[in-house]
Structures are given as C-alpha cells and as structure tokens.
C-alpha cells in the first residue's frame, strides 16, 4: 500500500511464487510482510461509469486489514502511473452498504495471495501476487527505481505489464474460451 497520492507500478509475469522469491532475494529484497490472502471487490455503477473512465473503486480485505481504494485514470507510458487514494476501514459491511446506497454495486471480485518485500535502502516495494491466473511480481516506486530493479532481476521493458488484474483476467478468459466471471480460487 502506497502512502503517496500517486502510484507508479508494473507487473512482471513469473512461473511461480518460488521463482519470484528467488528473483527478489537475488536482487537484495527481504521479506517485509508475510503471505496473506486478499479478497478484492470492485464497485461501479450499473452503466460501468468508473470502468469507462479508467478509474477504480475497490474494497480490499487482507487478513484483518480492510482498505478502500480509489484509483484515478492512468497516465499513458511504460509504467502504470495514476492517482491512488486509500483509507483503512474497520467495518467493510457498512462501507459496502454506503457504496450501494450511493449507486455503486459490486461488479468484479478477485482474489490473490500477496507477499511483500522491501530493500534495506530504497523507496519502493515489491510484491509477489499469486492469483488464479498466474503469479506476478509487482514493483511499485519511482520509474527509475522500477527500471533498475526489473533489470537487476533480468527483465526488460518488453516484459512490463501495466494492465489491471481485471484486464489480465479478461485476456486469460478470452484466450481459453472461458466465460468471464470473478477471478477467484
């Protein structure tokens, strides 16, 4: 979770969590937060107003933590950069009811297991996201930091993924002829 109003990130596809951990350790990362199950619910209007505007309203439960996130429209580029506002909430049922009273409804659920890593010196974060459609390393920090760390792990700009998990899931369904639903285990 970033504390800056703007997030810059990329995803990198990796074969599995074990490979991801090895890559991160070899790049100097150490474990910052143990593996936790995350359940995410994306809210939107019946006309998908937020999706059409490339924005996001999400409620995330990760262990005992619950976070509401707004993500603004991404700025075009090799990294995904956009406004991100987050707020910890104690009562996910009430915030869900508030969203629904305001005209938002759950439109997509996705789950993952996330493990967080950090460098001893550095202003970025790396996560290993194990999802139903594959495993990804996510690098979040300044563009230069992301590029240096991706290169240190053997990745180039052509490996950068800026799509959301919803977008990756829809592509995954399309290539397999699967009717999309929710990205859950």
pTM above 0.75, yes or no: yes
Tokens of 182: 């929710």
Residue labelled with tokens 């300044």: 142
pLDDT given at position 123: 84
For residues 17 and 130, the answer to whether their CB atoms sit within 8 Å is yes
Handedness of CA 14, 20, 23, 27 (dihedral sign): positive
Longest dimension (CA), the chain: 48
pLDDT given at position 4: 53
Find, among 122, 120, 117, the residue nearest to 144 by Cα: 122
Query: Using alpha carbons only, how large is the chain's radius of gyration in Å?
Result: 16
Mean pLDDT of the chain: 96
Q: How many CB atoms lie within 10 A of CB 53?
A: 11
Sketch the domain layout of the chain as residue ranges.
6-176
What would the pLDDT profile of 64-103 be if each residue is shown by its tens digit? 999 999 999 999 999 999 999 999 999 999 999 999 999 9
User: Given 3.30.160.150, 2.40.320.10, 1.10.3470.10, 2.60.40.10, which CATH number is that of 6-176?
Assistant: 2.40.320.10
What would the pLDDT profile of 125-141 be if each residue is shown by its tens digit? 999 999 999 999 999 99
Reply yes or no on whether the pLDDT at 1 is more than 60.
Answer: no
For residues 47 and 111, the answer to whether their CB atoms sit within 8 Å is no
pLDDT band at 27 (very low <50, low <70, confident <90, very high): very high
């Amino acid at each position: 979770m970033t504390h800056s109003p703007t997030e810059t990130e990329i995803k990198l596809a990796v074969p599995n969590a074990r490979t991801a951990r090895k890559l991160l350790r070899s790049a100097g990362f150490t474990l910052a937060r143990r593996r936790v199950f995350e359940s995410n619910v994306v809210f939107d209007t019946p006309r998908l107003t937020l999706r059409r505007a490339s924005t996001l309203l999400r409620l995330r439960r990760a262990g005992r933590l619950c976070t509401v996130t707004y993500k603004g429209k991404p700025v075009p580029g090799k990294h995904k950069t956009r406004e991100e506002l987050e707020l910890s909430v104690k009562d996910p049922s009430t915030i869900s009811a508030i969203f629904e009273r305001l005209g938002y409804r759950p439109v997509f659920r996705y789950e993952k297991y996330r493990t967080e890593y950090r460098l001893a010196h550095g202003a970025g974060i790396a996560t290993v996201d194990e999802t139903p459609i594959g495993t990804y390393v996510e690098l979040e920090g300044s563009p230069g930091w992301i590029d240096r760390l991706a290169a240190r792990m053997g990745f180039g700009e052509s490996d950068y993924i800026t799509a959301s998990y919803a977008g990756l899931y829809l592509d995954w369904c399309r290539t397999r002829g699967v009717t999309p639903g929710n990205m859950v285990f």
